[in-house]
Amino acid sequence: MGNEVNPLRYPLGLFKRPDPITDLDIQGWISDLEVLPRNLRRAVTPLAEAQLATLHRPGGWTVLQIVHHLADSHLNGYLRLKWALTEDRPTIKPYREDLWAALADSRLVPATVSLDLLDALHCRWVALLRCLSPDQFAREFRHPESGVATVAVNTGLYAWHGRHHLAHITAVAEREGWITSRPATDGRARETTG
């Protein structure tokens, strides 16, 4: 029982790093990063301001805070990639995501400010990732709290992170009856608002 994960907190479970990481894994993660902004926009655009202010779980963040958190977090992820590619095993600066989520810009309505940021950021991130060599995916950075990570692992972690928070939003929308189906992860299907 001690290893069970709370499905409201981790609807997709924890990130599981494949060993070894294959090119197929990396390409799948890049695709996840590519479609996240579109899928996130489809999930939150139909929501009213009161729905955006709904907690995704007791003690969690509001839907709006999740959207703004994704912009903050993924901006940090992109910078970590650039540092790892241009410096020799740099030590990156962690940030207090709980405190960032409490700042005034995490309450900006509408959410399009962060959705637009994610569109542009992921466009650049994906374009860069698609050009990397295996040696570049093996480059490393050091996180002061979690240790050394490779560009490949970081790519997988952020792909999972985006899907993880999108699942928070679609799960609360389903529980509250705001939508009747989840958007497909490839961005082709649209949910029906209720």
Query: Biggest alpha carbon distance in the chain?
Result: 51
Res 2 pLDDT > 90: no
Res 189 pLDDT > 50: no
Q: Name the class of domain 30-169.
A: mainly alpha
**Residue 8 banded pLDDT, cuts 50, 70, 90:** very high
What per-residue confidence (pLDDT) applies to 119? Answer: 98
Res 184 pLDDT > 60: no
Extents of the domains making up the chain: 30-169
In this predicted model, what pLDDT tens digit does every residue of 109-127 receive, in sequence order? 999 999 999 999 999 999 9
- The distance of Cα 76 from the centroid of its chain, to the nearest Å, equals 11
Tokens describing residue 80: 């970590």
Q: With the CA atoms of 173, 175, 179 and 182 taken in that order, what torsion angle do they form, in degrees rounded to the nearest 10? A: 80
In this predicted model, what pLDDT tens digit does every residue of 120-165 receive, in sequence order? 999 999 999 999 999 999 999 999 999 999 999 999 999 999 999 9
